[in-house]
Structure 1
Amino acid sequence: MNTPAPVPAEPTAADRRRWARYLVDERAEAHVYQQLAGRREGEERQILLELAAAEGRHEAHWLELLGGEPARLPRPGLRTRILGWMAGRFGSIFVLALAQSAEARSPYDSEVYATPAMRADEKVHFEVVRGLAARGRRQLSGSFRAAVFGANDGLVSNLALVLGIGATGASSGFVLFSGFAGLLAGALSMGAGEFVSVRSQRELLEATEENGHGDATASDLDLDENELALVYRARGMDADESLERARRVVSAAKAGLAQRATGPLRVPVEDGDEHEIIGNAWPAAISSFLLFASGAIVPVLPWIFGMQGTPAVVVALVLVGVALLSTGATVGVLSGGPPLRRGLRQLAIGFGAAAITYVLGLLFGVSAG
Structure 2
Amino acid sequence: MSFSKRLEDARKGFLKGDPELSAKAHDVQAIRRAMHHRERHASAGSEYIGSMVYGGLDGIITTFAVVSGVAGAGLKPEIIIILGLANVFADGFSMATGAYLSEKSEMELYERERQRESWEVEHFPEAEKEELRQLYLAQGYPEEDANQMVEIKARDKQRWVDAMMLEELNLLPADTKPLTSALVTFGAFVIAGLLPLMVFLLDWLLPFSLSGQSAFWISVGVSGLALFGLGAAKVLVTERPPLRSGLEMLLVGGLAAAVAYLVGMFLRSLGLNG
The reply to whether TM is greater than 0.5 is yes
Q: CA deviation at 1:348?
A: 1.8
Q: Does 1:346 align with 2:249?
A: yes
Q: CA deviation at 1:26?
A: 1.0
Secondary structure of the corresponding residue to residue 169 of structure 1: coil
Alignment of 1:159-198 (within 5 A): 159-198=64-103
Alignment of 1:1-369 (within 5 A): 25-32=18-25, 37=30, 41=33, 43-44=35-36, 139-208=44-113, 213=136, 248=145, 274-277=172-175, 279-306=176-203, 307-368=210-271
Task: State the alpha-carbon separation in 2 of the partners of residues 154 and 181 from structure 1.
Answer: 12
Task: State the alpha-carbon separation in 2 of the partners of residues 191 and 310 from structure 1.
Answer: 33
Contact 2:76 / 2:212 at 8 angstroms: preserved in 1? no
Q: CA deviation at 1:33?
A: 5.3
Give the aligned residue type for 2:251. A
* Matched residue count: 215
In structure 2, the CA distance between the partners of 1:33 and 1:325, relative to structure 1 (3 Å rule), is: farther
Partner of 1:15: none
Contact 1:332 / 1:343 at 8 angstroms: preserved in 2? no
Task: State the alpha-carbon separation in 2 of the partners of residues 207 and 291 from structure 1.
Answer: 32
In structure 2, the CA distance between the partners of 1:42 and 1:144, relative to structure 1 (3 Å rule), is: closer
The structure with the largest helix share of the pair is 2
Secondary structure of the corresponding residue to residue 86 of structure 2: helix
Give the aligned residue type for 1:25. D
5+ unaligned residues in a row in structure 1: which ranges?
1-20, 46-131, 220-246, 253-267
Task: State the alpha-carbon separation in 1 of the partners of residues 60 and 244 from structure 2.
Answer: 19
Contact 2:52 / 2:188 at 8 angstroms: preserved in 1? yes
TM-score, normalised to structure 1, is 0.49
5+ unaligned residues in a row in structure 2: which ranges?
1-13, 118-131, 150-164, 204-209
Task: State the alpha-carbon separation in 1 of the partners of residues 105 and 246 from structure 2.
Answer: 30
Contact 1:163 / 1:357 at 8 angstroms: preserved in 2? yes
Task: State the alpha-carbon separation in 2 of the partners of residues 207 and 153 from structure 1.
Answer: 32
Task: State the alpha-carbon separation in 1 of the partners of residues 65 and 15 from structure 2.
Answer: 48
| Identity %, equivalent residues | 23
Q: CA deviation at 1:318?
A: 2.0
TM-score, normalised to structure 2, is 0.64
Task: State the alpha-carbon separation in 2 of the partners of residues 358 and 196 from structure 1.
Answer: 33
